[in-house]
């Protein structure tokens, strides 16, 4: 196995992607449409998802931007201090914003926040509770399924938008897993052989800037007999999702996302 052949294999494995856009904008829209389904079926102030009536709509519910601002997680830890998103997507009072254009606007205005479970679903979590991804979205999906069973006709549009917003979350998680794999692989190579991957920036079909392995630059910078590390390399690839902490974490999130998507795409009994 020579280095050129290895680069070719790895390029095939990751479809050329080493970096990805953040999934936060699509997660925001996913939560928003879950919230709107609850408002429509249960009524203002009677929802389980963000029950607080602190929005500026006439009935006290939130408009999109203020919903995002209210539910975002902002660390109080001075060493990990983060600033709250105070941007404006231009959505205004539109309760059914377009998924792609709104996600793009969130990204453009720097939205990369996570969400605080105790604000999103206070009957399930309080304070600074940090449930797993599977637990958090599993509970929210349970709620969505109950709402669908209760009044499916009233929330058909919101369900369609929910499905549309959740699918990119999975795709981005796959990209994140690939990016994480190469970061960890690079670290492993540095320890084993001092090899480092050279990358270049390419522009995807949607205009997103992505990092890609630069095969020629990698070949020029590194010289090594790959046969000496073939066994360990193949072992690293084969066990990344089961034995490496970051690989396991990404794999668990992807598996959970796929399970949730299956329920959302299916009927209300799923």
Whole-number pLDDT of residue 204? 66
pLDDT at 228: 61
The pLDDT tens digits for 147-174 are 999 999 999 999 999 999 998 887 776 6
What rounded mean pLDDT belongs to the chain? 82
Give yes or no for residue 130 having a pLDDT over 60.
yes
Per-residue pLDDT of 78-114, as tens digits, reads 555 567 899 999 999 999 999 999 999 999 999 988 8
Q: Residue 184 — pLDDT band, cuts 50, 70, 90?
A: confident
Task: Determine the pLDDT at residue 214.
Answer: 80
Structure tokens at 127: 């304070």
pTM of the predicted protein model: 0.70
Q: What percent of the chain has pLDDT over 70?
A: 76
Percentage of the chain beyond pLDDT 90 is: 48
């Amino acid at each position: 196995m020579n280095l050129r052949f290895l680069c070719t294999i790895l390029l095939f494995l990751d479809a050329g992607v080493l970096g990805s856009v953040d999934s936060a904008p699509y997660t925001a829209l996913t939560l928003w449409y879950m919230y709107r389904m609850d408002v429509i079926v249960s009524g203002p102030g009677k929802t389980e998802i963000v029950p607080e009536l602190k929005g500026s709509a006439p009935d006290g519910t939130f408009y999109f931007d203020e919903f995002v601002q209210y539910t975002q997680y902002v660390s109080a830890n001075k060493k990990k201090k983060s600033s709250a998103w105070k941007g404006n997507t231009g959505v205004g009072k539109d309760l059914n914003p377009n998924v792609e254009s709104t996600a793009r606007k969130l990204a453009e205005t720097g939205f990369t926040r996570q969400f605080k479970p105790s604000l999103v679903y206070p009957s399930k979590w309080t304070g600074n509770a940090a449930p797993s991804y599977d637990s958090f979205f599993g509970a929210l999906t349970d709620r969505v399924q109950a709402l669908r069973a209760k009044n499916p006709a009233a929330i058909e549009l919101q369900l369609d938008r929910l499905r549309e917003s959740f699918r990119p979350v999975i795709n981005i998680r796959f990209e994140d897993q690939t990016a994480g794999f190469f970061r960890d692989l690079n670290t492993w190579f540095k320890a084993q052989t001092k090899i480092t991957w050279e990358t270049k920036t390419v522009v995807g079909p949607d205009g997103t800037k992505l990092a890609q392995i630069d095969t020629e630059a990698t070949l020029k910078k590194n010289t090594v007999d790959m046969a000496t590390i073939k066994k360990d390399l193949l072992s690293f690839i084969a066990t990344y999702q089961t034995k490496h902490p970051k690989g396991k974490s990404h794999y668990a999130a992807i598996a959970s996302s796929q399970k949730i998507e299956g329920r959302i795409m299916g009927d209300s009994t799923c």
